Amino acid sequence: MFKKAQGLPLNVIVIAAIVLVVMVVIIAIFLGRAGQTGREIAKCENQGGQCMPGTRCNEAAGFVRIPEQCADDSTGEPQVCCRQIGSG
């Protein structure tokens, strides 16, 4: 005699789909916050530096570090992340 195939009830499949969607949303939230945290860590001030014009940084006996971290000032002069030698 033939046996009926055993299958998952429809409500189990629906619950599994809902759980999967919730997990994807939670992962997206955490990844978004991780990106914000990474941007905060990469800021010049959070690395012990100060944004200033490159010429002023050299005059202050400091060193230039990753110029992309600082926005240009209001006069349009490029800013660099400068940290004094021996700090941090």
Partners of 64 in the beta sheet? 82
C-alpha span between 56 and 82 (Å, rounded): 9
pLDDT value, residue 30: 85
Burial 36-68 (b: 16+ CB within 10 A, else e): eeeeeeeebeeeebbbbbeeebeeeebeebeee
What does the angle CA 15 – CA 19 – CA 25 come to, to the nearest 5 degrees?
A: 145
Break the chain into its structural domains and give their ranges.
10-84
Q: How much is the pTM?
A: 0.45
- pLDDT tens-digit profile of 44-77? 878 778 888 777 777 656 676 665 677 777 777 7
